[in-house]
Amino acid sequence: MNILLVYAHPEPRSLNGSLKAFTIKRLEAAGHSVQISDLYAMNWKAQLDADDSIQRRPGERFDPSLDSRHAYENGLQSLDIVREQEKLLWADAVILQFPLWWFSMPAILKGWVERVYAYGFAYGVGEHSDSHWGDRYGEGTLAGKRAMLVVTAGGWEPHYSPRGINGPIDDLLFPIHHGILYYPGFDILPPFVVYRTGKIDETRYAAICEQLGKRLDELFTTAPIPFRPQNAGAYEIPALTLRPEIAPGRTGFGVHVGDDA
Ligand code: FAD
């Protein structure tokens, strides 16, 4: 199978650098084809701006969405964006690997999402009307592909538990899982999170690699998180709120995960 690893860490000799090398070796040994977007090594341009299209809409002010649509529809996107979109279309599975920085992804990776996820490619896909709010959340350009996060965090696992001070890890990762990955159609696998990175010796590193290796071996058989698809009847249209009979009385991110979780 084809696997794209999008990787965001500035130092090859870091824990993330070691885990990246381990991941590539493991996947290739299993017979997969792997492409890597090593964002720092590529000197990836993180900021979305008017330079993202080769030719702007004449006479118009820069509008991030409309300029993105114009460039995407007319083959005017900058080449670095096109290359990443091609990698996404090529991939059967995508892994985003990064250290947790300020409870989210590093800015360079957020910039990759903002620029590569063009209007017409990742959003603004499908019919938009009062009865159908686009092909998204379970449908879209990247439907049928799998995605998984590999995240390292300085905090301890209990700090990210349901009553932990940092908030539950599933909640912190929800905007990435649901908003960034499920939105354009990916099936999302449970994340692989390494906690307490300040306390890693050779023994623990070996155990982490063993656990990560198992997750990589099971990349195409692990059950995805059962997020509720937008267009399968669970949501009232056009409000896009969950029907009252589904998860009655419950609110919060967790209600968007189906009962088979
Ligand atoms: P490194 O620092 O490179 O390594 C960690 C440990 O692993 C070291 O002890 C190293 O010796 C060991 N190691 C590396 N490679 C190997 C190997 N091959 N074999 C054996 N041992 C090895 N944490 C949070 O929990 N929440 C946050 O919101 C958060 N925000 C942050 C914001 C910023 C700007 C920064 C800089 C850090 C933040 N952190 C946060 C901490 C951050 O998540 C960790 O520093 C990061 O995940 C560690 O990953 P690394 O690859 O940089 O590890």
State the average pLDDT over residues 61-85: 97
Q: What angle do the packed helices 79-90 and 107-116 form, to 10 degrees?
A: 90
Residue 68 located in a structural domain:
yes
State the average pLDDT over residues 223-236: 97
Kindly indicate the confidence band of residue 260, based on its pLDDT and cuts at 50, 70 and 90: low
What is the rounded CA–CA span in Å between residue 209 and residue 22? Answer: 7
Tell me, using a 6 A CB cutoff, whether residue 30 lines ligand 1. Answer: no
Residue 247 located in a structural domain:
no
Ligand 1, atom 11: closest residue by C-alpha = 200
If one compares 59 and 96, the residue with the highest pLDDT of the two is: 96
Q: Which domain holds residue 160?
A: 2-224
Residue 236 located in a structural domain:
no
Residue 189 located in a structural domain:
yes
Residue 152 located in a structural domain:
yes
Kindly indicate the confidence band of residue 130, based on its pLDDT and cuts at 50, 70 and 90: confident
Tell me, using a 6 A CB cutoff, whether residue 9 lines ligand 1. Answer: yes
Judged against a pLDDT cut of 60, whether residue 55 lies above it is answered with yes
Tell me, using a 6 A CB cutoff, whether residue 197 lines ligand 1. Answer: yes
Kindly indicate the confidence band of residue 131, based on its pLDDT and cuts at 50, 70 and 90: confident
Residue 252 located in a structural domain:
no
pTM: 0.97
Residue 258 located in a structural domain:
no
Q: Give the chain as a DSSP string.
A: -EEEEEE--S-TTSHHHHHHHHHHHHHHHTT-EEEEEETTTTT------GGGBSSPPTTPPP-HHHHHHHHHHTT-B-HHHHHHHHHHHH-SEEEEEEE-BTTB--HHHHHHHHHHS-BTTTBS-S-BSSS-B-S-SS-STTTT-EEEEEEE-SS-GGGGSTT-TT--HHHHHHIIIIIIIITTT-EEPPPEEE--TTS--HHHHHHHHHHHHHHHHTTTTSPPP-BPPTTSSSEETTTTEEPTTSSTT--SGGGGB-TT-
Tally of structural domains, the chain: 1
Q: Check which CATH number belongs to the domain holding 176 and give it.
A: 3.40.50.360
Tell me, using a 6 A CB cutoff, whether residue 2 lines ligand 1. Answer: no
Render pLDDT for 75-102 as a digit per residue (tens, 0 to 9): 999 999 999 999 999 999 999 999 999 9
Kindly indicate the confidence band of residue 70, based on its pLDDT and cuts at 50, 70 and 90: very high
* pLDDT reported for residue 259: 78
